[in-house]
A and B are shown apart, each in its own frame.
Chain A
Amino acid sequence: MDNNRILNVANLVAGYEIKKGFVKAVDNVSFTLNKGEFLGIAGESGCGKSTLAYGLMKLLKDNALIKSGIINFNGNDIQSYSNEKMNQIRWVDMSMVFQSAMNALNPVLTIGEQLTDAIFAHTNDSKEKAKGRALEVLKLVDISADRFDSYPHQLSGGMKQRVMIAMGLILKPDLIIMDEPTTALDVVVQRTIIEKIQDLRKEFNFSVIFITHDLSLLVEISDKLAIMYAGKIVEYGKASDVFLHSLHPYTKGLMNSFPSLTGPIKRMGGIEGKPPDLLNPPEGCRFAPRCEKAMEICFKEYPKTYVKSDKHWVDCHLYNKEGNVNG
């Protein structure tokens, strides 16, 4: 087992029990993450990325659950951990920054109280020590100490999101999962927060799983990139590889959906159609109905994984074992 490896997810299946059956939002997903690495997970609505994020933290509730698979974190198989055991890990070893800070922050508590609450929940620190840690982490995210006693509604959207990041950092975890942390923010604020995250990563060397639909952003900031579609990871590799040498037609389609600020202005394609119903996913490759290059076999059989090089793989019938392009 690689000492550098912090997370190993194998054949994870998770989703929602509804009257009509089980919706597999995460269907047989596998990937790995090393220490200090930044993994970006890109996908559109309904691809299962949020379910994956919550599933890794074992935060799925009500009718959402993990059906099978292995989540190996820091050498431990946490998929079988009870809630009490997970509480010891959560926030201390792995934490999460939620989408929409407006909904994640308690409006009737000051941000100082919420930060120290997180500390009290997981450690036996004294009040002074907790406050000290909270102030420290607020400084890290560029929020002045006099905001310690502010209520969430007194802060701007960007500041609230930075408080969320502070909360994610406060117990110095090894892994932070961020679920669309900058989606609701203006582009300048988004850039400041991304820069802040990079700075903090350099200082503390934690790993990040960053989930968003904004592929152009991910390409810039990720080490590794995973493209999710309809509950499966269809392509995975180094960000530069996936961007410059995209293999999967969906990845290519996505890359072709972002107009750029540089280079010639030409008509871009986008992708027609919409994602499949995850309650009864189609047989074979799930992207086949929308794929320009779909062949007969694509509708019948799910593609085997083709590994292009160390760390760059894709699930697509266009490539056979030797890397020759089919069809």
Chain B
Amino acid sequence: MGENILEIKNINKHFPIKSFRGYGQYVHAMDDVSFSLKKGEVLSIVGESGSGKTTTANVIAGLYEPTSGEVYFEGSLVPRKMHRKKELDYRKKVQMIFQDPFSSLNPTHTIFSILERPFKIHKLASGKKNLRNEISKLLETVGLEPAEQYIDKFPHELSGGQRQRVNIARTFSVNPELILADEPTSMLDVSIRMSIMNMMLDYRDEKGISYIYITHDLAGARYMADRIAVMYAGMLMEIGTAEDVINSTFHPYTKLLKSAAPSPEEGLNRPKLTTKGDIPSLINPPGGCRFHPRCPYYKDECSKEIPGMKEVSKGHFARCIL
């Protein structure tokens, strides 16, 4: 670990609403999101639906253009419009794994033709026999062996876990520097999740890849990540090492997440949740701190101004006035 491989500064992403009724309004998917990631580090972004975590990944992957703010990769600014060569280079280094293993694979292509694309696009190998060899090796790396059994099948002939392994194989094939994993295990059976998560960790240990691991599951984040960032309603609320965020939880929202997460060790007599209410609309988010309508520590100033990120302890920041 050393320098930053990724740094995003004050990213806003607002989607314009195109329907007749909502015309002129925006969905504030991301507001003032900033963080950095060191080489070889795993950062987990935790949040519920509407938190902006998936949008963040899409912006970093270059699938969405930010409304404002900058993305720095390996120290240099990533321009909005890149010409082909630079774009290919970026896409080789920054890869994304999606949540739904089935819809991430083209149902009309065999595993072979799906996996040969990265090789062909980035000119990493050629020749049918050569490609087949490389792809077979790749399948074995992700635990799909013997490769012959899988290479000519169609996605619908594989199970959910197998499909996700194919997706992961695809990301690994270009030897990326940064992998964005958007809830890669939430649609898989419980018993399979662990092996997928372990596989990703092994790969990091072997190749020194950096990860951004997006999840709604705080315990999963703790297992995978060095640092955890908590997002709520499009804004970053708390960020720090996994231990700090989970054991020295600062932000009231993170405390809420912690108390809501299943924890079998604590048994039946857990204290009840003290917070009511739902996630706010992103079209007209609450003024000031977005969590203030639900916060048990609410003070007047919370609804007036958005709090800045305050350093609670070394490397541990929270967006709260407390």
Q: Interface residues, chain A, CB within 8 Å of chain B?
A: 44-45, 156, 158-159, 186-192, 195, 213-217, 219-221, 240, 243, 253-254, 256-263, 265, 267-272, 274
Contacts and interface: CB of A to CB of B under 8 A. Distances in A.
A153 to B, nearest CB: 14
A254 B191 CA distance: 6
A216 B223 contact: no
17 contacts: A44-B189, A45-B189, A156-B278, A186-B216, A187-B257, A188-B260, A191-B261, A192-B273, A192-B276, A213-B190, A215-B264, A220-B266, A258-B219, A260-B263, A270-B198, A271-B194, A274-B162
A216 B48 CA distance: 19
Contact of A274 (B159, B194, B260, B261): B159
A270 B159 contact: no
Question: Which 8 A/B pairs are nearest by Cβ-Cβ distance?
Answer: A270-B194, A259-B223, A271-B191, A191-B260, A219-B264, A186-B48, A216-B262, A44-B189
Interface in B280-315: none
A259 B273 contact: no
B194 A268 contact: yes
Contacts of A190: 260
Given A187-B257, A188-B257, A265-B222, A220 B262 contact: yes
Given A189-B278, A219-B264, A274-B161, A214 B190 contact: yes
B220 interface: yes
A186 B279 contact: yes
Contact of A216 (B159, B162, B264, B276): B264
B264 to A, nearest CB: 4
Nearest to A261: B219
Nearest to B279: A186
A243 B257 CA distance: 23
B222 A259 contact: yes
Nearest to B259: A191
Contacts of A156: 278
Contacts of B159: 274
Interface in B157-173: 159-162
B91 interface: no
A216 B161 contact: no
B319 to A, nearest CB: 18
Contacts of A268: 194, 198, 223
B268 A261 contact: no
Interface string B246-285: 1000000000111111111111101011011011000000
A188 B189 contact: no
B278 A158 contact: yes
A216 B219 CA distance: 11
Chain B contact patch, size range: 35 or more
Contact of A257 (B194, B246, B264, B270): B194
B100 interface: no
Contacts of B125: none
B157 to A, nearest CB: 13
Contacts of B268: 220-221
A186 to B, nearest CB: 4
Contact of A262 (B49, B265, B278): B265
B217 interface: yes
Contact of B193 (A217, A220, A261, A270): A270
B190 A265 contact: no
Nearest to B191: A271
Nearest to B278: A156
A261 B256 contact: no
B68 interface: no
Contacts of B267: 220, 240
A45 B192 CA distance: 11
Contacts of A216: 219, 262-264
Contacts of A195: 272-273
B144 interface: no
A261 B261 contact: yes
Contacts of A256: 194
A261 B190 contact: no
A33 to B, nearest CB: 18
Given A195-B273, A216-B262, A220-B263, 16 more contacts: A156-B278, A186-B48, A186-B49, A187-B48, A187-B261, A188-B256, A214-B262, A216-B219, A220-B266, A257-B190, A261-B218, A261-B246, A261-B261, A268-B194, A270-B192, A271-B191
Contacts of A214: 190, 262
B251 to A, nearest CB: 14
Contacts of B266: 220, 262
